[in-house]
């Protein structure tokens, strides 16, 4: 069974508007959730993670994400998008085991147009 | 990408040849990982190692081999048994390999089989 899903292959938003990139998960127990960003032909850059505590997590470059246990979601948000935010975004989940093993979503291509 | 280097950036291989991808980290991390990225499929785990001289298979280990003789190095060999090796390969490392640790990624190696 798929552990994490990103239901949108592409998200398009105008510069200055708020953006949301969606992620849902399906693991038992307490998941650990991560967001990464990838620019063309580059490695992944860590944005933020949820382990425990406050459901609203703030990360790099003005991004934040909200953990919602009842909806099993961990959507990535930013209040005001920049053209430079255009990239491929990955949600990942660790099933809460003692050993770190990440399961990645298929990625969402974000395009911010000027 | 800082702290993790992968070489070469681009690699071309003829069918039937083995090739080795290099991954080195100077972060003093115990755990290291190899992922494969294909368009539209996200990242899939090939092998991981939580300590020197020990490693485990991930979800798609067939046709690949690794070694972990030094803490800072985790080379991946793509053997001729790998049926479709053309992909983008990403190496990552984390402090201890615990599920709460952040994985940090290298810049990747793009392998093309001619």
DSSP letters of A21-43? E--EE--SS--EEEEEEE-TTS-
Quick check: B37 and B96 in contact, CB under 8 A?
no
pLDDT higher at B108 or A101: B108
- What average pLDDT does the segment B77-86 reach? 91
Question: Is A43 close to B45, i.e. CB distance below 8 A?
Answer: no
Contacts of A101 in chain B (CB under 8 A): 45, 48, 58, 99
pLDDT at A100: 76
Question: Is A100 close to B94, i.e. CB distance below 8 A?
Answer: yes
pLDDT at B2: 55
List the single residue in A with minimal CA-CA distance to B88.
A41
- Over residues B21-46, the pLDDT tens digits come to 999 999 999 999 999 999 888 899 99
Confidence of residue B98 (pLDDT cuts 50, 70, 90): confident
**Measured distance CA(A25)–CA(B42) in Å, rounded:** 15
Query: Which of A93-97, B70-74, B86-90, B103-107 comes out lowest in average pLDDT?
Result: A93-97
B100, B108, B110: best to mutate for the A interface, most A CBs within 10 A:
B100
Question: Is A34 close to B42, i.e. CB distance below 8 A?
Answer: no
pLDDT at A97: 66
Contacts of B31 in chain A (CB under 8 A): 100
Contacts of A94 in chain B (CB under 8 A): 99-100
Question: Is B4 close to A43, i.e. CB distance below 8 A?
Answer: yes
A28 three-class SS: coil
pLDDT at A30: 83
pLDDT tens for chain A, 114 residues long, are 558 999 999 999 999 999 999 999 998 788 899 999 999 888 999 999 999 999 999 999 999 999 999 999 999 999 999 999 999 999 999 876 667 789 999 999 999 999
Contacts of A44 in chain B (CB under 8 A): 43, 90, 92, 105
Quick check: B51 and B32 in contact, CB under 8 A?
no
Question: Is A49 close to B31, i.e. CB distance below 8 A?
Answer: no
Question: Is B42 close to A49, i.e. CB distance below 8 A?
Answer: no
A100 vs B: CB within 8 A = yes
- What average pLDDT does the segment B79-103 reach? 92
**Measured distance CA(A16)–CA(A81) in Å, rounded:** 5
**Is pLDDT of B1 > 70?**
no
Question: What secondary structure letter does DSSP report for A103?
Answer: E
Query: Token pair of A84, please?
Result: 């430079």
Confidence of residue B99 (pLDDT cuts 50, 70, 90): confident
CA distance B10 to chain A (A): 10
Task: Give the bridge partners for A99, in sequence order.
Answer: B98
């Amino acid at each position: 069974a798929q552990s994490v899903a990103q239901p949108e292959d592409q998200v398009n938003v105008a510069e200055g508007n708020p953006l949301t990139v969606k992620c849902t998960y399906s693991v038992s127990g307490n998941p650990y959730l991560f967001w990464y960003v990838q620019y063309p032909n580059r490695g992944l850059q860590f944005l933020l993670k949820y382990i425990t505590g406050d459901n609203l997590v703030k990360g790099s470059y003005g991004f934040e994400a909200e953990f919602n246990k009842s909806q099993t979601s961990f959507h990535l948000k930013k209040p005001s998008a920049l053209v430079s935010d255009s990239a491929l975004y990955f949600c990942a989940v660790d099933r809460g085991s003692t050993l770190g093993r990440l399961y990645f979503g298929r990625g969402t291509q974000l395009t911010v147009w000027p | 990408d800082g702290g993790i280097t992968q070489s070469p950036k681009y690699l071309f291989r003829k069918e039937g040849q083995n090739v080795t991808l290099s991954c080195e980290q100077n972060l003093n991390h115990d755990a290291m990982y190899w992922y494969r990225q294909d368009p539209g499929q996200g990242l899939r785990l090939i092998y991981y190692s939580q300590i020197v001289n020990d490693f485990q298979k991930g979800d798609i280990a067939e046709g690949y081999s690794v070694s972990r003789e030094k803490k800072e190095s985790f080379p991946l060999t793509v053997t001729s048994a790998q049926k479709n090796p053309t992909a983008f390969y990403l190496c990552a490392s984390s402090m201890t390999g615990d599920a709460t640790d952040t994985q940090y990624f290298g810049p990747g190696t793009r392998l093309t089989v001619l």
